[in-house]
Amino acid sequence: MAKVAQARSPYAVLVRSSAKSLRFCLSPTTRWAGRMLRTIQPIRLPDWYTRQFGLLSPARTGSTSRKSLLSPVLLIAAIIAIAAVAGCSTELAPRDTHATISDSGNISSFFYKMLLYVDIVIGVAVFGFLAVAIVRFRRAAGDDSLPPQNHGDARLELIWTAIPTVIVVVITIPMLVGLFQLAKHPDQNQKIIEIDVTGKQWWWDFTYKSGTANGLQTANEVHVEANTAVVMNMTSSDVIHAWWIPRLTGKRDATPGRTYPLYFTPLEPGIYDGQCAELCGASHAVMGTKLFVHPPAKEVEVEYAGKKYTLDSYETWAREQMASSVAPATPELEKGAKLFRDKTCPACHLVKGLEGAESAGQSVTTGPNLTHVGSRMTIAANTLLNTPQNLAKWIQDPQAVKPGAKMTKIAMTPDEAAAIAAYLTSLK
Amino acid sequence: MAAVTDFDRALAPVYHQDRENKYGLVDWLTTVDHKKIGILYGAAGLIYFLIGGLEAVLMRIQLALPDQNIFIGDTFNGLVTMHATTMVFMAIMPMIAAFSNYFVPLMIGARDVAFPRMNAFSWWTFFFGSVLLNSSLIFAEFPAAGWTGYAPLTSKGITPSQGIDFWWAGLTMLAISSMVAGVNFVVTILNMRAPGMTLMRVPVLAWMMLVIQFLLAFSFPPVAVGLILLAFDRTFGTVFYEYTMGGDPHLWQHLFWVFGHPEVYVLILPSMGIVSEILPVFARRPLYGQHAVIFSGIFIGFVGFGVWGHHMFTSGMGPIADAVFASTTAIIAIPTAVKIFNWLGTLWNGKLSFPTAMLFAVSFIPLFTIGGLSGIMHANAPLDLQQHDSYFVVAHFHYVLVGGAIMGLFAGFYFYMPKISGKMMSESLGKIHFWLFAIGMNVTFWPMHDLGNRGMPRRIYTYPADAGWNVDNLLATGGVVLMAIGTLIFVYNLVTSVKGGRDAGRDPWDASTLEWLCDSPPKVHNFDFTPVVYSERPLWDHKYSPDMAISVPTQAEEIHMPSNSWKPMYVSIGILMILVGLLLIGTLPFSWLLSIAGAITIIASLIAWVTEPV
Amino acid sequence: MSADLAATAPAEMAHDHAHDHAHDHAHDHDHDHDHGHADHGHHAVVENNFMGQPNIKLAMWAFLGSECMFFGSLIGTYFFYHGKALVEPMPDKVFSIGITSISTFLLLMSSLTMALGVDSMKQKKRDMARNYLFLTALLGAAFVGFQVYEFSHFVHLGLKLSTSLFGSTFYVMTGFHGGHVTVGVIWLTILAVLIDKGKLNPVKLPINVEVAGLYWHFVDIVWIVIFTFVYLLEFIQ
Ligand code: HEA
Ligand code: HEA
Ligand code: CUA
Ligand SMILES: [Cu+2]
């Protein structure tokens, strides 16, 4: 996948400054660690080595100490083994939080890497000391002598309070930098795509506020342009939802009665999946969303789920969407459109340009805007592929697809459903 | 060298009132003995652990493969909610209460807690509250808004199901129980110490219990207020969480997390205390840096009150609040580090042996460290925007809760059961339990880190096959099987050991604190004579430093133990009546009459309580 | 819940009894001990009552700490929502400082009578203490009466629990305070009656009354906070 230049991202600056401060603060730490090691006791390697492999005289390796000899070591080995199995597959997951494609997403990914290294160092230190202690300081059977009965050491205490303090300071400073970066509104002088996002049980309503698409309304699938800053204003009309595209950037809660912003600049054209990340009721699991990052100028080919797709430029897409719906061209479609009206669908859905469906414009927020539903890749919030069969299935029994779905189940024959589905499919 | 058998010579004290160990039904219902109450809490905790575990197993079955349809929608959400509510409030908390009830008085050389009847009241309030919560399945349906019950998902307009009403009513009772117990134990630990036991000689487990009692007493009121507001919204039509009326859903989040974060330290500190008791015994040397371990526990308790906002990084509090909460959160790594390193210091240079109790205690260190280190990742606000409400968080808190709290409590069971039952638990079964559980928990929860990294949100009942989450989920479900078998072996071991185990004697582990001085099981009055304490290891010094032996008095003490009482249970029943009356408003006409009857019950029982001869 | 703190007194007494013996014994024991090894003489046996507080008083302090968090959360909620109500009537429309000042004054006076009651109990003047307790309960009941009147007056003015955020926060906060006063009234009444009937252990009476007094003063202070920040602040604005 072609990487788009990241010159504008704060990523590089952040890496460099953080690495510098890390090195600055860690070098005394390593020296302290060395001293600490010496204060404790030198590790007499041959002793535990021989004991571990049962090379000592039988008197010292009694059966009790033998039986449980390797247990804690095995535990750690097991953890590492599972880590290897589960954590280290190299193929890119479709929703990988670390293969991020936006400036703000890269900030999160950077901190993951930074903290992963810090954690590994700490983990290795703690596990290492533990493993050595467990292996080296076993009580041999019949050994009734007492180990040293000292109560601690103030100097050590100071050292192992100071080291974590330093680490905490070191990881906190870049974090604060990143935090304020993420909260910064993009430069007002550049082109900004602004979108109002409303979470609903259990779908997403997007209203575009700028540029060619000003006033456009789409459901569940949201379209932006690569290398153009995006401002999303999150809100909700029932319960709290959270809009999350893992490959894009972190999530933001959509809170009823409040509006909170999310800023990002997508850097790589493509199609990305995501879903609601805040428990919002029965169908929370199937409240999906999709992000299309269009190329700025001419169309490009992108890969999604193993298939190739062509993405128009953002402007082209926006112009097409701003148009009214296409009128039904055949008697079949005419029938579907009539059924659509008769079955009271327009009570909740707007189809711009369809007579009888447009007048109900004021209630359009009850259900998704269907003006160009035929151009969707998926329906019912990224749950079903947009095929006529799936449409018919959904229309006949929404609750069977999504538990508790807020679209009423309207009685109709399979034929009627198929006709409506055909009409909706034609709404490209 | 003085021996523990010295104490066999002590004369039984002279009672001013008859009291003996009887185990009839009435004795259990009316008991005010801290040991019996401890056993009741322990039994309840174990049973609820099985129930909560069963709910986890059902969840994992649904999530084993993609696109399954076994438990979907609110059925699944109900399982999630009740799994967490059960595990946190009805499994771990009562197990902690079991240890604090049974062992805190023994450890500090007291004959009971400061207010024995109030203690019984705490137990009954817990018991009725937990039954009320679970009965939602029978009378309505499980609450399904997550254990965090975020507003406005819990509001009547959006979730009319009565499950939520059972949830607030049950949790309110559990909150009352915990606050009262908190007050009781603060007084017990501060005031009932044996002569000579200065604060710094109080065993670390008792210290950690002291810290959590403060946390309980001070952190439950905010969530109690949150629940009361919720109850008013649902029953009396107030508008606290109604956004259409200007209400702010963040109010609940703040009230909940002001409680919720200290609560997680309530769950972990006792296990840290247990580990701090066990490691020295099996390393045969004092706890390294005991004072540092104690002070770091206190420090964790304090700072724990100032970090709740780290659960709300994605909610839009603004960068300044985020920065404050993120920084204070990271600070908690410091006192925790002090504990971890002092445990390592205890093992270093020790003479280690590894019975099951020690295996669990030692495994606490790496497992908790893994959970703590992922916690440190969460504390990084920019990173947490990705990890929040993903399976990475699920991995984090199960490592600290299962790898930390549960491992510590298991260690405690193996270590302390000989004192409670007088019989040893089977070591071979114990080791099988340990390995199954330790491996199982890693197989279950480690892949969840990866799931989170791969973008899987939590609390979803299904996932598509092509999201790349299949292998990890299958592994996670596989691990539960190991944990479940291990747990069942543990229960079998525990139950059979009570009758069939080897005799334990006073001091099976060559331990160092006062609880090992009394009989196993202890007599009703715990100690035949009140021990005088000269160090933080009184029993050890008795055995190993001849000049510090505890001398056994030659004459019998005179004591008076409070007698059994029904009143605590009556008062709890009164509270139950009030709450049930309230939650039925709108369902059953005149249900408020039940509440009034409840209030009268409480007043009448209290008058009887005060005037009762003890 | 608060009442049973005092209620546990007899049990607690019994316990202290046991403990006293333990202490006596401990001191003897300590003596024996010192014979053998004088080098441990510095291990003086310390008195363990934390800061010299008896159990029941320490419990009351801990409980009041908990109550601080409780009322802190309620008052915090009130301020969190202050000025955010969308529906009339607003605070300035309903509050009448005059009436609330009178009830506040009554509650303040009740703190005085409570203090006098505690004092007379300390001086073993049982009857006088009983009378003061009755008087305190009476003043408390009058306060609750005023509150009932105030509530019904506000409802009359159109402010109901469900009217607005102001209605919800105001009634719940002051209602829980009123509830605490009511509990106190019942508690003091029962205490006074039991003193009158001689049903309570005379040795423990002073401390029982003192603990009830702590609770009463606390509830009083909470009202001062509410009165200042909720009523007076509105008045100043
Ligand atoms: C026993 C319970 C327990 C414990 C002890 C902890 C401990 C910690 N937790 Fe955890 N946490 C939970 C239970 C617990 N947590 C639960 C249940 C949730 C989810 C709730 C929900 O949403 O349902 C949660 C969620 C949670 C979040 C919110 C995540 C989100 O939803 O977005 C955060 C964020 O900061 C966090 C952080 C921490 C930190 C920093 C610690 C620290 O205390 C950890 C400190 C320990 C260490 C750091 C390891 C040992 C130390 C060293 C080896 C020394 C050196 C280390 C350094 C210098 C870094 N936790
Ligand atoms: C103390 C707390 C605690 C403990 C011990 C556990 C233990 C376990 N938890 Fe849980 N868990 C939470 C606290 C805890 N959990 C919390 C707070 C949440 C968040 C909820 C929310 O989002 O609101 C959560 C959420 C949670 C989820 C995420 C759900 C979701 O977001 O969709 C999962 C998924 O796998 C899970 C799994 C498990 C498993 C497999 C165990 C295992 O360790 C369980 C092991 C125990 C057993 C396996 C029992 C064995 C016995 C039997 C099976 C026999 C039963 C027999 C009889 C009853 C007679 N837990
Ligand atoms: Cu919307 Cu979850
Ligand atoms: Cu937390």
| Angle formed by the axes of helices B163-191 and C55-80, nearest 10° | 140
Mean pLDDT of C177-203: 90
Q: Does B301 touch chain C (CB under 8 A)?
A: no
pLDDT over threshold 90, residue A68? no
Best residue of C2, C13, C17, C19 to probe chain B, by most B CBs closer than 10 Å: C19
CB–CB contact C69 B218 (8 Å): yes
pLDDT over threshold 90, residue A5? no
pLDDT over threshold 60, residue A61? no
Q: Does B478 touch chain C (CB under 8 A)?
A: no
pLDDT over threshold 60, residue A38? no
Mean pLDDT of C209-222: 95
B540-589 tens-digit pLDDT: 989 888 888 888 888 888 887 888 899 999 999 999 999 999 988 888 88
Measured from the Cα of B329, ligand 1's closest atom is: 40
pLDDT computed for residue A69 by the predictor: 43
pLDDT computed for residue B18 by the predictor: 58
pLDDT computed for residue B17 by the predictor: 60
Q: Is B151 within 8 Å of C26 (Cβ atoms)?
A: no
Which has the closest alpha carbon to A69: A136, A130, A147? A136
How open is the CA angle B470-B472-B474, to the nearest 5 degrees? Answer: 70
Mean pLDDT of C182-201: 90
pLDDT over threshold 90, residue A79? no
Tokens of C104: 């506040």
Q: Is A384 within 8 Å of A378 (Cβ atoms)?
A: yes
CATH 2.60.40.420 domain extents, chain A: 192-322, 331-425
| Angle formed by the axes of helices B204-236 and B93-107, nearest 10° | 140
Contact residues, chain A, for B284 at CB < 8 Å = 139, 146-147
pLDDT over threshold 50, residue C23? no
Mean pLDDT of A129-147: 89
Of the listed ranges B431-440, B486-495, C117-126, C172-181, the least confidently predicted one is C117-126
Which ipTM was obtained for this model?
A: 0.90
Determine whether B261 is an active site residue: yes
pLDDT computed for residue A181 by the predictor: 87
Q: Is C208 within 8 Å of C191 (Cβ atoms)?
A: yes
pLDDT computed for residue C25 by the predictor: 34
- Higher-pLDDT residue of C35 and A116 is A116
| CA–CA min distance A99, chain B (Å) | 9
Q: Does C15 touch chain B (CB under 8 A)?
A: yes
Homologous superfamily (CATH) for A192-322: Cupredoxins -  blue copper proteins (2.60.40.420)
Mean pLDDT of B144-159: 93
Of the listed ranges A355-364, B92-101, C175-184, the least confidently predicted one is A355-364
Mean pLDDT rounded to a whole number for chain B: 93
Ligand 1 within 6 A of B148 CB?
yes
Q: Is B570 within 8 Å of B612 (Cβ atoms)?
A: no
pLDDT computed for residue B174 by the predictor: 96
- Higher-pLDDT residue of C39 and A222 is A222
Highest mean pLDDT among B20-34, B279-293, C8-22, C24-38: B279-293
pLDDT over threshold 80, residue C30? no
Mean pLDDT of C31-46: 32
pLDDT computed for residue C42 by the predictor: 34
B18, with CB counted inside 10 A (0-12, 13-18, 19+), is exposed
Selected catalytic residue, list B124, B241, B265, B469: B265
Share of chain B above pLDDT 90, in %: 79
Do chain C and chain B touch with ≥3 beta carbon pairs under 8 Å?
Answer: yes
- Higher-pLDDT residue of B516 and C98 is B516
Phi and psi, residue A41, nearest 5°: 175, 140
Q: Is A295 within 8 Å of A315 (Cβ atoms)?
A: no
B383-413 tens-digit pLDDT: 999 999 999 999 999 999 999 999 999 999 9
Q: Is B503 within 8 Å of B81 (Cβ atoms)?
A: no
How far, in Å, from the CA of B399 to the mean position of ligand 1?
10
Which has the closest alpha carbon to A247: A110, A105, A88? A105
pLDDT computed for residue A63 by the predictor: 34
B94 pLDDT band, cuts 50/70/90, is very high
Q: Is B79 within 8 Å of B44 (Cβ atoms)?
A: no
Side-chain-side CA neighbours of residue A46 (13 Å) = 1
CB–CB contact B454 A96 (8 Å): yes
pLDDT over threshold 80, residue A60? no
Mean pLDDT of B327-339: 95
pLDDT over threshold 80, residue B469? yes
pLDDT over threshold 90, residue C8? no
Highest mean pLDDT among B30-44, B520-534, C75-89: B30-44
A354 pLDDT band, cuts 50/70/90, is confident
Determine whether B499 is an active site residue: no
- Domain residue extents for chain B: 2-564
The set of residues, in sequence order, having a beta carbon less than 8 Å from that of B464 and lying 6+ positions away, is: B66, B67
pLDDT computed for residue A165 by the predictor: 95
A199 pLDDT band, cuts 50/70/90, is very high
pLDDT computed for residue B288 by the predictor: 93
Phi and psi, residue B426, nearest 5°: -70, 130
pLDDT computed for residue B551 by the predictor: 81
pLDDT computed for residue B529 by the predictor: 87
pLDDT computed for residue A256 by the predictor: 95
A57 pLDDT band, cuts 50/70/90, is very low
Helix (H) or strand (E) holding A208: strand A203-208
Contact residues, chain B, for C169 at CB < 8 Å = 240
Selected catalytic residue, list B33, B55, B112, B541: B112
pLDDT over threshold 60, residue C20? no
pLDDT computed for residue B562 by the predictor: 81
Highest mean pLDDT among A20-24, A355-359, B328-332: B328-332
Q: CATH number of the domain at A331-425, please?
A: 2.60.40.420
pLDDT computed for residue A17 by the predictor: 54
- Higher-pLDDT residue of C36 and A337 is A337
Q: Is A97 within 8 Å of B390 (Cβ atoms)?
A: yes
CB–CB contact C26 B196 (8 Å): yes
| CA–CA min distance A202, chain B (Å) | 12
Mean pLDDT rounded to a whole number for chain A: 81
A270 pLDDT band, cuts 50/70/90, is very high
Mean pLDDT of B203-221: 95
B20 pLDDT band, cuts 50/70/90, is low
pLDDT computed for residue A74 by the predictor: 57
How open is the CA angle B325-B330-B335, to the nearest 5 degrees? Answer: 125
A66 pLDDT band, cuts 50/70/90, is very low
Which has the closest alpha carbon to A406: A355, A348, A353? A348
Residues A178, A110: Cα–Cα separation, whole Å: 10
pLDDT over threshold 90, residue B382? yes
Q: CATH number of the domain at B2-564, please?
A: 1.20.210.10
How far, in Å, from the CA of B144 to the mean position of ligand 3?
13
pLDDT computed for residue B19 by the predictor: 60
| CA–CA min distance B427, chain A (Å) | 11
How far, in Å, from the CA of C70 to the mean position of ligand 4?
21
